[in-house]
Amino acid sequence: MFAVFDLLGRRFIPRLKDIADIPLYGLGAGQPQLPADTLLSRKVRDELIDGQYEELLRLAGSLKRGWIIPSVLLTRMHADPRPDRLARALREYGRLVRTNFILDWAGDPALRARGLGQLNKGESANALHRYVGFGNRGRVQARDPEQLQRHMDCRRLISNAIVYSNTRYIAHALETLERQGHTLPDADVRHILPVHYEHINPFGHYRFDTRRGPATGRLRPLRPATYTSRAIPATNATATNAWRCRRPNATSDALR
């Protein structure tokens, strides 16, 4: 993932789990005079990157043009038990980029704040998807891939409609505040997210007219009875049980 983002000219800023246990990779000869050199416990196989660098650039071009789906590429490379030289070069390049990111993350508080903010945005968007997909407690029971895709498209459509509506109202509120003379710093506006759903009622609206109900302290009239008796065919067991019910002391009388 780190390698693909770097080849596309972007920066991947995740929140890594157990970041202190991730090994760090160095490139070339070590520099003992640097304090960070003691953390670089492993070495990157730079010969693989040098030998496949042109292929890595072609791969990045195919991804940028949309000829290859990134998720499919990464899944196949990760699942391949015998990766080729291009896959191994991409893995080594990703280890190098990931090491640089971890070192930047450890020494840059602004980068950590940015990553946490992006994580909160992603979690808010996921919470909105779960909120609109409340049916069956959020579980998708469709087994057909077409039905599953239709379900996810509907959930995404509803979420996008909520985001669009929120964006329009947020823009209108900001314009109203500016016309009233309020100063809105860009640093504050940047933290406003259009994924709130507290004002959305997914269950619909229901109205109850208490005037049409029964008077205070009284009950509603019961519905007319529709009970009809059903004859049970007699058997030896039912006849015996009926005889015992009519004469509860029949056994004790016989013993006497």
Q: What is the pLDDT of residues 66-91, one digit of tens each?
A: 887 777 777 777 777 787 888 888 88
- Count of the separate structural domains present in the chain: 1
Is residue 126 domain-resident? no
Q: How many CB atoms lie within 10 A of CB 117?
A: 14
Q: What is the mean pLDDT of the chain?
A: 79
Is residue 195 domain-resident? no
pTM here? 0.55
With a pLDDT cut of 90, the percent of the chain lying above it is: 6
Domain membership of residue 54 as a residue range? 2-107
Tokens 């205070």 correspond to what residue?
Answer: 216
Tokens 């991730």 correspond to what residue?
Answer: 22
